[in-house]
Amino acid sequence: MTLSGEVALVTGASRGIGRSIAVALAKAGAEVIVNYVHSADKAKAVCDEIAAEGGRAMPLQFDVSKPEDIKTAVDTVLKDGKSISILVNNSGITRDGLSMRYSAEDWDSVLDTNLRGAFFTCQALMRSMTKARKGAIVNVSSIVGIMGNPGQAAYCASKAGLIGMTKSLAKELAPRNIRVNAVAPGYIETEMTDKLTEDQRQAMLKYIPLGRVAKPEEVAHAVVFLASPEASYITGQTLIVDGGMGM
């Protein structure tokens, strides 16, 4: 799968799954714009890692929960002559808690970042992608957006909303040769799973037929595929990367 000549914007790309997606896109030949909010040093480290492998990358700071910040940042890139043809909406947060005690502030924070932010980042690029009659958007959802999970009502709602948004945008943008898909990861080796006790990890693995958690790179490979010409006839779909957990 080659993405030579493409420019990709990955939100939340300074660590975790986003970092792996940025690196994988660069290895496939794309120039990558590494979005971050606060972690400038980590974003620079991702760019340096990509450059060390012969790729091209640049950091770009903006907060996806603020539509005006998104538009300003994206417009700056476009005015510099870059034509962004791939967008990966990866930014996400969670504020776990039982629904009966959940605050409106936490609800809004999760939905603003995970769902509202993804929509307005898509919107910021729609005009340029439409003009170019070319584009691939991949939204990073989650298996819990399909299955649900106790204590994560807001997070699950945001990830389920991404799947619905993916289908709607796919239908709107298909006539302009812009494809919109999603990936739905299961449990991934991240800072969160590193904090689990061995008993907690074993309890979790009982629900995964493949018997292990995924590496971030395994999600990244799925994203690269959906962004690539090899997926040119795929749109409006959600590719589940969960080791069979949701079966």
The answer to whether 23 and 34 are in contact (CB under 8 A) is no
pLDDT of residue 203: 83
CA atoms within 13 A on the CB side of 211: 0
CA atoms within 13 A on the CB side of 127: 6
pLDDT of residue 201: 81
Q: Is 187 a catalytic residue?
A: no
SS3 label, residue 181? strand
The answer to whether 35 and 8 are in contact (CB under 8 A) is no
What would the DSSP string read from start to end of 81-142?
A: T----EEEE---------GGG--HHHHHHHHIIIIIHHHHHHHHHHHHHHHHT-EEEEEE--
The answer to whether 53 and 30 are in contact (CB under 8 A) is no
Burial of 206 (0-12, 13-18, 19+ CB in 10 A): exposed
Place of tokens 């606060």: 38
Q: What is the pLDDT along the chain (247 residues), one digit of tens a residue?
A: 799 999 999 999 999 999 999 999 999 999 999 999 999 999 999 999 999 999 999 999 999 999 999 999 999 999 988 999 999 999 999 999 999 999 999 999 999 999 999 999 999 999 999 999 999 999 999 999 999 999 999 999 999 999 999 999 999 999 999 999 999 999 998 766 676 678 878 888 999 999 999 999 999 999 999 999 999 999 999 999 999 999 8
pTM of the predicted model as reported, rounded to 2 decimal places = 0.95
pLDDT of residue 204: 83
pLDDT of residue 193: 67
The answer to whether 19 and 13 are in contact (CB under 8 A) is yes
**Token pair recorded at residue 200:** 């907690």
User: Which position among 155, 187, 207, 233 bears the catalytic label?
Assistant: 155
CA 148 to chain centre: 19
